[in-house]
Amino acid sequence: MMLRYLIDQILSSNSWNLGRETKQALPLIKSFGNRSAHNRRFIAKKQDIDKIVPGLRVVADEMLHLAGLK
């Protein structure tokens, strides 16, 4: 199953009850991951990663909480 499909399903479902910041961060994190994995000429640099770290932290915390691991 493609990550894009999973993110679309999570964002469209009300049962997850995600916060606004998580909803905004998920597509951005996926976009950077996609470019880094599939684009031969794109190499994420520290300043690229620094831009998404706050959103990554929010997403990770919220997912861990929803999974009952935090």
Residue 14 has what DSSP assignment? S
Q: What confidence score (pLDDT) does residue 26 get? A: 95
Q: Are 26 and 11 in contact (CB under 8 A)?
A: yes
* Chain centre distance of CA 35: 13
For residue 2, pLDDT beyond 90: no
Binning pLDDT at 50, 70 and 90, where does residue 70 land? confident
Locate the domains of the chain by residue range. 3-66
Number of CB atoms found within 10 A of residue 22's CB: 21
Predicted pLDDT at 39: 93
**Could you tell me the CA-to-CA distances from 44 to 24, 29, 34, 41, 70 in Å, in that order?**
20, 12, 11, 10, 29
pLDDT digits (tens, 9 = 90+) for 5-46: 999 999 999 888 999 999 999 999 999 889 999 999 998 899
